[in-house]
Chains A and B, each alone.
Chain A
Amino acid sequence: MNAIVKPGAGTEAGAPGEGAKTGGQGAPVHRRVRSVRTAGGLSLRLDLRAVLVGLLLLAVALAAGIALIGSGDYPMTPGEVLGALTGGGNAGQEFIVRELRLPRVLVGLLVGASFGIAGAVFQTVTRNPLGSPDVLGFAQGSSVGALVVIVFFQGGTFAVAAGAVVGGVATGVAFFLLAWKRGIQGYRFVLVGIGGSAMLYAVVLYLLTKANIVEATRATTWMNGSLNGRDWDQVWPLAAVCAVLIPLALFYGRPLRMLEMGDDAAYALGVRVDRVRVIALLAAVLLVAAATAAAGPIAFVALTAPQLARRLTRSPGPNLLPSAFMGAVLLVTADWAAQRLFGADQLPVGVLTGVLGGGYLLWLLTVERRSGRI
């Protein structure tokens, strides 16, 4: 029983039994769209599912954050955590929550959101799910910056973070210049990124050979990506970067959506294609660099979060906000698992994001292939 009546030669492949989900008779209603209009001239077209998924992901991210704050050697109930956050707990609880655990969770949320939204921008601009910053060598670029500081200057935490930012931004600028040919072409950008990634990884390996054992251990730990020992010094710079760049990226969300249809179609609709691409990519590069500086190059969040968000919202477009929230959920959940399932501070969170995010993505792809959606 195929609910989708299909005249002509289409490629739709609804498996038997699957059609029932989308409603039986005539044209199935895939999506519910609600128009919102106010007297002030504000009008919006809301995809109810996308809005709901977005809100739900935000709620899950915050809830996971609270649960993470409450867990540890000194466990607290969510009520106690909220009390301590709002100034209603005892002095000990307030110290543990506000000074020790909250910054770590905030860094996790912000890093996850930055990776998620930057990944969504990259994948939209390159029109390629693999066109993510973590695949294109930005992690390696930041690593080179950080390792130079660790190996040659024996710099402290702040200097390493600065090195990572410089490495990431320099990588971005180099890729822009190399991929530039009458504007940035997505495909060229991916190719340049993959080539650059290989080269930068070679530099990382070279730097590791130059390091002594202490430096090499420190470098490897940094490259795994970890939230251990993050405090307010990491929160504030990252929060400031996010406060500026996430709204900027969101502002470009609508033209980015037009870019999905190809440069010509976007041009025809009055999108200034090159400008949108350069500004959106620049914002994404800076977000990735700042997030990497705060937590190391955490694998897979930028690649997975937009894909997961898109499959949950089932909405076309870059899905920027859902991707950001999904990134935050992934990272905080992974950090919780890394801390609790394997003993305190045993596993760096970057190891787990790969396993969790990658596993979930594979599972989704398998399920969707079976139901004929892809």
Chain B
Amino acid sequence: MSRLTAENVTLAYDQRVIAENLSVAIPDHSFTVIVGPNACGKSTLLRALSRMLRPTAGSVLLDGSAISSLPAKKVARTLGLLPQSSIAPDGITVSDLVARGRYPHQGLLRQWSADDERIVEESMAATGVGELAERYVDELSGGQRQRVWIAMALAQQTPLLLLDEPTTYLDIQHQIEVLDLCAELHEEQGRTLVAVLHDLNHAARYASHLIAMKNGAIIAEGAPSEIVTAELVERVFGLGCQVIDDPETGTPLVIPAARKPRRATADDPVDGSDGSDGGAERGAGGGPARRAAATTAVS
């Protein structure tokens, strides 16, 4: 089942067409991640799904009706978006910013109900920014700030949440922090998450459903363990690589091919295979350190 779908959409900025005849369905309760090289249209697709960009043909459907025909506030109660860049107003505190997430639930008279207050507190607790409530947002680190923005999106209380490159510009530990948080929201609160991510390994580790795009078209989609292969990476990113099991999670881990082959040293555990078996599918080998598919050989 999919509450959010795009049907044969053509996406364009002015005259520049990014994608044509694109159809996608976001599985309910999934953590869907869209990956692809720069300019493949992944962010554009996310913008269309979140009604920031109106398709020039086809339509985006939310619960079966065209999203552009639904009242803006009603959509905002079902579908949240964490944009790539948001501006924290000068001198705003964390709790004030998170409170703004309640906007679609409020009206001229009902501006701050007891529910609003409770949900804002819960959202701050869920993202671990509760202690920062009275702090100014501009005083926070990048990772903290991103968690505050996520808290604001959570306070919106939407069953669907779209995130546009939520880890960009963050240090590695903050990237993982944010992704762990997303996974938690997905697993514990049952929200449907759709994220655009740059890092293929992050995508493969966290996604329950992966969509790989290139040149405005979807090349493959499905569970990362089923679709992430050296072949796919080569096809989508034009990058030679091996795909091994992530020693932490067992999900696919992409190791880009090196410019120079590894030099053998005394303590090198390499088992003698130099990857010349070419094109072998991931999973064909065995053992934790198997090296499959040195795709330099695929061609």
Chain A residues within CB distance 8 Å of chain B: 4, 6-12, 27-31, 33, 35-37, 40-45, 127, 251, 254, 257-258, 260-262, 264-265, 267-272, 310, 314-317
Contact = CB atoms under 8 A, between A and B. Distances in A.
The 9 closest A-B pairs by CB, nearest first: A8-B141, A270-B76, A264-B83, A45-B112, A12-B139, A270-B73, A268-B81, A316-B89, A270-B104
A316 B110 contact: no
17 contacts: A8-B141, A12-B138, A27-B131, A30-B93, A30-B135, A30-B136, A37-B113, A45-B99, A257-B89, A260-B89, A261-B87, A261-B100, A264-B52, A264-B84, A267-B52, A268-B156, A310-B90
A270 B75 contact: yes
Contacts of B82: 268
A186 to B, nearest CB: 11
Nearest to A45: B112
A264 B141 contact: no
Interface string B156-167: 100000000000
A140 B228 CA distance: 62
A33 B95 CA distance: 10
Interface of B: 50-52, 71-77, 80-93, 95-96, 99-101, 103-104, 106, 108-114, 116-117, 131-136, 138-144, 153, 156
Contact of B93 (A9, A12, A31): A31
A225 to B, nearest CB: 30
Greatest chain A CB density within 10 A among B71, B89, B104, B106 is at B89
Nearest to B110: A43
B36 to A, nearest CB: 20
Given A315-B91, A316-B96, A27 B135 contact: yes
A53 to B, nearest CB: 14
Contacts of A44: 111-112
Contacts of B136: 12, 30
Given A27-B133, A35-B117, A261-B88, A10 B140 contact: yes
A43 B51 contact: no
Contacts, number: 132
Given A11-B138, A30-B136, A270-B72, A37 B114 contact: yes
B80 to A, nearest CB: 6
A37 B190 CA distance: 32
Contacts of B72: 267, 270-272
Contact of B50 (A10, A11, A268): A268
Given A264-B83, A316-B92, A45 B100 contact: no
Contacts of A4: 135, 139
Contacts of A11: 138-139
B90 A316 contact: yes
A316 B91 contact: yes
B83 A265 contact: yes
Contact of A269 (B76, B84, B143): B76
A41 B117 contact: no
Contacts of A12: 136, 138-139
Contact of A27 (B89, B104, B134): B134
Contacts of A42: 109-110
A28 B134 contact: yes
Contacts of A258: 100, 103
Given A30-B93, A260-B87, A270 B139 contact: no
